[in-house]
């Protein structure tokens, strides 16, 4: 875009030096067609394209700067940072388009009826896309799912790496990255292992022989769990006699 603007500025400067700028602009303005009350010329299209490119460049630059500042704000949660940056980027991209259309003399009110009809058609065809967009905003607002969470749904287990406008990126232990539509996280049952706390109780089934000392086996299981640094001392590990199986006494170690 920078090279294109530089070439355009050079061409305008060269035509101005040669005294041909008015002639060329008049020629481009004469190459026009009328659509109702709207007169569209090549000169108008060039002005609109240049204005749109300039405004989009400014908006994109400002959005990147703002996103960098938002990431440094420790007061905002990661979910709110993503939501704020997405909304700001959407507004900053929409605003230049409206300004560019207005700058070339296009009456935006005349497009209201047409855009409404087109919007209905697009809405019917993009129901799932719109549903995923709205679901993504809901997830960001209620903070039920956020980057870094460990979730489980439909036999899928992994870590949330990013929240996007249409989908959530889920990294599994196998190294796969699953792209789950936001709507599925709203309508399906999701187990969030780290929603309010990262403390998880685990259990292990241990089978010992009927000839074994069950009390000793229980004490050794508790001592083995206590020797692991990641296991908490409070609440302390516990081992229970779970059942008398066909070929073993089954114990359950909880930690």
pLDDT digits (tens, 9 = 90+) for 180-217: 888 888 888 888 888 877 788 889 999 999 999 999 99
Q: How confident is the model at residue 123 (pLDDT cuts 50, 70, 90)?
A: low
| Domain annotation covers residue 42 | yes
Q: Can you state the angle between helices 21-30 and 2-17, rounded to 10 degrees?
A: 110
Three-state DSSP class for residue 50: helix
Q: Quick one: 109 and 59 in the same domain? A: yes
Question: Which of 36-40, 43-47, 74-78, 92-96 is the least confident region?
Answer: 36-40
Which CATH number goes with the domain that contains 208? 3.30.70.100
- Mean pLDDT over residues 90-97, rounded? 76
For residue 30, give every residue at least 6 positions away whose Cβ sits within 8 Å of its Cβ, in sequence order, or none: 41
The confidence score (pLDDT) of residue 71 equals 76
Taking the alpha carbons of 35, 40, 42, 45 in that order, is the dihedral positive or negative?
Answer: negative
Q: How confident is the model at residue 79 (pLDDT cuts 50, 70, 90)?
A: low
Q: Quick one: 108 and 158 in the same domain? A: no
| Domain annotation covers residue 179 | yes
Q: Quick one: 115 and 170 in the same domain? A: no
| Domain annotation covers residue 50 | yes
- Residue 109 CA, distance from chain mean position: 33
| Domain annotation covers residue 3 | no
What tokens appear for 7 in the block?
Answer: 């070439």
Q: Quick one: 95 and 170 in the same domain? A: no
Give DSSP secondary structure letters for 194-252. Answer: TSS-S----EEEEEE-TTS-HHHHHHHHHHHHHTSTTS-SSSPPEEEEEEE-SSSEEEE
H-helix or E-strand containing 87?
helix 78-103
**Three-state secondary structure readout of 9-40:** HHHHHHHHHCCCHHHHHHHHHHCEEEECCEEE
Q: Quick one: 116 and 62 in the same domain? A: yes
Three-state DSSP class for residue 160: strand
The confidence score (pLDDT) of residue 214 equals 92
Residue for token pair 């992994």: 158
| Domain annotation covers residue 135 | no
Residue 220 phi, psi (nearest 5): -65, -35
What digits encode the pLDDT tens for the residues 5-59?
Answer: 777 778 778 877 877 777 777 776 677 666 666 666 666 777 777 777 777 778 7
Q: Quick one: 36 and 100 in the same domain? A: yes
What letters, b where the CB count within 10 A reaches 16 and e where it falls short, cover 51-81?
bbbebbeebeeebeeebeebeeeeeeebbbb
Q: Is the peptide bond before 235 cis (omega within 30 degrees of 0)?
A: yes
Taking alpha carbons only, the member of 177, 141, 143, 142 closest to residue 159 is: 177
Q: Quick one: 57 and 118 in the same domain? A: yes
> Looking at the predicted structure, is the pLDDT value of residue 221 above 70?
yes
- Mean pLDDT over residues 240-246, rounded? 91
Q: Quick one: 35 and 119 in the same domain? A: yes
| Domain annotation covers residue 1 | no
| Domain annotation covers residue 237 | yes
Which CATH number goes with the domain that contains 166? 2.30.30.60
Q: How far apart are CA 108 and CA 215, in angstroms?
A: 82
The confidence score (pLDDT) of residue 34 equals 66
Mean pLDDT of the residues in the chain = 80
What tokens appear for 200 in the block?
Answer: 């998880």
Q: How confident is the model at residue 72 (pLDDT cuts 50, 70, 90)?
A: confident
Q: Quick one: 115 and 42 in the same domain? A: yes
The confidence score (pLDDT) of residue 69 equals 80
| pTM of the predicted protein model | 0.45
Question: Which of 76-90, 139-153, 159-173, 228-242 is the least confident region?
Answer: 76-90
| Domain annotation covers residue 5 | no
Q: How many domains does the chain have?
A: 3
- Mean pLDDT over residues 61-83, rounded? 75
Long-range contacts of 236-242 (CB under 8 A, 24+ apart): 239/206, 241/214, 242/205
Exposed, middle or buried by CB within 10 Å (0-12, 13-18, 19+), for 137?
middle
Q: Quick one: 112 and 160 in the same domain? A: no
Question: Which of 52-56, 232-236, 241-245 is the least confident region?
Answer: 52-56
Structural domain of 225: 203-254
Q: Quick one: 207 and 186 in the same domain? A: no
């Amino acid at each position: 875009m920078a090279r294109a603007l530089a070439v355009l500025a050079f061409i305008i400067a060269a035509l101005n030096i040669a005294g041909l700028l008015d002639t060329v602009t008049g020629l481009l303005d004469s190459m026009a067609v009328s659509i109702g009350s709207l007169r569209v010329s090549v000169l108008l299209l060039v002005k609109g394209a240049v204005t749109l490119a300039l405004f989009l460049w400014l908006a994109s630059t400002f959005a990147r700067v703002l996103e960098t500042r938002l990431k440094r704000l420790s007061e905002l949660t990661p979910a709110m940072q993503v939501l704020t940056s997405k909304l700001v980027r959407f507004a900053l991209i929409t605003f230049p388009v409206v300004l560019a259309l207005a700058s070339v003399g296009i009456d935006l009110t005349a497009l209201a009826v047409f855009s409404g009809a087109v919007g209905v058609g697009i809405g019917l065809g993009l129901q799932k896309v719109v549903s995923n967009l709205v679901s993504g905003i809901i997830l960001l607002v209620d903070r039920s799912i956020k980057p870094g969470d460990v979730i489980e749904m439909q036999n899928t287990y992994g870590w949330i790496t990013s929240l996007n406008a249409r989908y959530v990126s889920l990294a599994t232990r196998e190294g796969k990255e699953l792209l789950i539509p936001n709507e599925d996280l709203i309508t399906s049952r999701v187990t969030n292992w780290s929603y309010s706390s990262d403390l998880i109780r685990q259990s292990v089934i241990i089978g010992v022989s009927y000839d074994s000392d069950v009390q000793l086996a229980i004490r050794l299981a508790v001592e083995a769990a206590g020797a692991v640094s990641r296991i908490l001392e409070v609440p302390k590990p516990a081992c229970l006699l779970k059942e008398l199986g066909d070929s073993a006494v089954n114990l359950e170690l909880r930690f």
